[in-house]
Amino acid sequence: MSQINDTSQILFGKPRDELGDVERNVLDHSHERKILSSDTNAAFSARQTGGDRLSDTIAKVGGSWTFIVCFLLFLCAWTVANTLLLTREAFDPYPFIFLNLLLSMVAALQAPIIMMSQNRQAEKDRFDAAKDYQVNLKSEVELIALHHKIDSVLLAEIAALRADVARLETALSAALAATPPPQ
């Protein structure tokens, strides 16, 4: 545990206990060499209820060209049926008050369902952003840890090279002292 606290102090400038949940989670995953990234679509879909999926489906259908074309065809059929075909016994004669009632009810139901779907999409976007932040933070932590390891290796090599140079200087000085001066 002290190694995690040391790493936390180096990377975040504070002990592990003072880190937020996200930073602590990232640090633990990094220390345990576990993968942090995951399929956010699958994770988010697993949390959805049946009502959530239904409203997403309704929003997907209601926001499509297929729906618009079919609805325009329905409106044309309604208008033709009540003005041309059923001239005497029209169930909704001009100005189509019953059709207006139906359209108002569809709009009254469709608008909140689409808003629920949009809210869920915004929630999914926040979920994706939080996961992206965690993965980016873990990458940063791993890169910093890698830099520290490389620096440690380089410092050890430099110290070994200095020791070799000092030993060679001593050997060279001894060899020069033992060699008689030229005549």
Q: pLDDT, tens digit, for every residue of 143-173?
A: 888 888 899 999 999 999 999 999 999 999 9
Question: Residue 1: what pLDDT?
Answer: 58
pLDDT (mean) for 15-37: 78
148 vs 100: which has the higher pLDDT:
100
How far is the C-alpha of 33 from the C-alpha of 37, rounded, in Å? Answer: 12
Q: Higher pLDDT residue, 51 or 38?
A: 51
pLDDT given at position 103: 92
